[in-house]
Chain A
Amino acid sequence: MKELICIVCPRGCRLTVNENNDYAVTGNSCKRGEVYGKAEVTAPVRVVTSTVRVLQDGRVPSRDRAVRCPVKTSDAIPKGLIFDAVKAIEAASVKPPVRIGDVIIPHICGTQADLVATKNII
């Protein structure tokens, strides 16, 4: 039995995962908790959020011009890849206009997830 706190949403349900019974999950309030409980014990994953540089070429600097664009991985990626993803994110940049959901790095670190923008920047 492994006890853990579900982190999929802020409710933080207390889960119990039974390794001896096909990773059966109890204590969850929704289906997502079950998926998380199984995965956290077998192959933990995380959504990574950060920011990338907004290229300013030729733009007039002003105090309401964004210099960073927030981003996230479109899906959770293996926990062990977080720091590799962060390196890739550091090297990336975007050129406005940017729309929410625009792909900035496809298949980040060879995963199924893309790095996508989470803010509209004009």
Chain B
Amino acid sequence: MYDLIIIGGGPAGLAAAVKAKECGLKKVMICERSTELGGILNQCIHNGFGLTYFKEELTGPEYASRFIDMLKETDVEVRTDTMVLDISPEKEVHMVSPAMGYRVEKAKAVILAMGCRERSRGALSIPGTRPAGVYTAGAAQKYVNIDGYLPGRRVVILGSGDIGLIMARRLTLEGCKVLACVELNEYSSGLNRNIVQCLNDYDIPLLLSHTVTNISGDRRVERVTVSEVDNKTKQPIPGTEQYFDCDTLLLSVGLIPENELSRDAGINLDPRTKGPYVYDNMETSLPGVFACGNVLHVHDLVDFVTQEAQRAAAAAAEYVKKGQPERGEVLDVKTAGGVTYTVPQQICPADLEGDTKVSFRVNRVFGKSRIVVSSGDRELFTQKKPFMMPGEMQNVMLPADILKAAEDSITVEARED
């Protein structure tokens, strides 16, 4: 019997494992389906990781190795090349690996840290032929950075998520011609920094309010058609077609938390985040099962993944030592005014001491604005924000006394000044 089994060996799983040991748990295991630890960070060779957490700027592999080194100092059992297939409500974890075959291990607590996968939906709705040469941006990133070959030579990117932007620069440096980055919305969902550093630096056009309306090519992509869209209806405007002769179309149209395991285990999922509903201690609807990182909601900064994982691991340790906490009154966290979701979705104010971090995203670009947290018609908390956009996850720290003063629910709202 394990104290804790962690599923996923990316930054969330790694930070959770190290923290669980610090909190005094004895038998801890981490399962990773890939042959090495580090998760998505292994293919993110660009820099920009760790400024918040380590106060220095690291590349993805460097950030991962900091935690891999810390993990080596512990006796956490690391099972790589091990795919978790199923979790039962009794916290039996079914796994399979070439080395050990099929195994069922039981744990007192489980942390879900499976990360996310890329949407490919963008391609499915595009008319035209189905030639080779259409990839998700993350798959292309793996081909280039891990396997060392190029997916093509002349590239159009659909969607301006961070992976697409990063790949625009990466492929340009490798000698490819990136013709355009095409974004359906009137703003990019990627970080500003990446727009400046990856597109503007190399004069790659960012076509906002545009989409790919046709793919043509016999065996391989030969041409894509790009049209402007109406911002209200999101429908292509006839007569605005542009043609790009290219051999590759990359899709960077968003990430979805990888929750097949969670769903099969009967864990309640939030349709907004596509991740589990969690309490302020990161516990899901299944007692003793916690979630953190991209499996819970898609993060843009790994530093926040690390912090969330530490919060989950500390709570898992508490659960193992003391059993299910008395929840007392539970506050639902509601959203209004452009806030699309929150994590956590529920807060139990009874034993809160310090501040509780609430993460959320907004649905459009906000200039100078305020985050207002209220309960009923009472405003409990406000915080100024100079600038917010959908691509950047936002956080507020809510003091325990204001949460204790709330009744039934709190509402997190964004108001532009």
Q: Which residues of A contact B (CB under 8 A)?
A: 4-12, 14, 46-51, 53, 63-64, 66-68, 70-72, 79, 82-83, 86, 100, 118-120
Contact = CB atoms under 8 A, between A and B. Distances in A.
Nearest to B301: A10
A70 B300 contact: no
Interface stretch (B145-153, B207-215, B244-252): B145-153
Nearest to B35: A64
Contact of B191 (A12, A48, A66, A83): A12
A71 B42 CA distance: 12
A118 B57 contact: no
- For chain B, the bracket of interface size reads 35 or more
Given A49-B45, A50-B173, A51-B145, A70 B196 contact: no
Nearest to B198: A7
Contacts of A49: 45-47, 59
Contact of B192 (A12, A79, A82, A118): A12
A10 B59 contact: no
A119 B145 CA distance: 12
Contacts of A120: 65
Given A8-B51, A120-B65, 11 more contacts: A48-B173, A49-B59, A50-B174, A64-B81, A67-B147, A68-B145, A68-B148, A71-B45, A82-B173, A83-B173, A118-B45
B45 A5 contact: no
Nearest to A7: B193
Contacts of A119: 42, 61-62, 65
Contacts of A14: 386-387
A49 B196 CA distance: 16
A94 to B, nearest CB: 13
A10 B392 CA distance: 9
Nearest to A40: B196
A46 B197 contact: yes
B133 interface: no
Interface string B46-73: 1110011000011111100100000000
B196 to A, nearest CB: 5
Nearest to A53: B148
B45 A70 contact: yes
A10 B147 contact: no
B145 A70 contact: yes
B64 to A, nearest CB: 9
Contacts of A48: 173
A100 B147 contact: no
B230 interface: no
Contact of A9 (B48, B81, B148, B174): B48
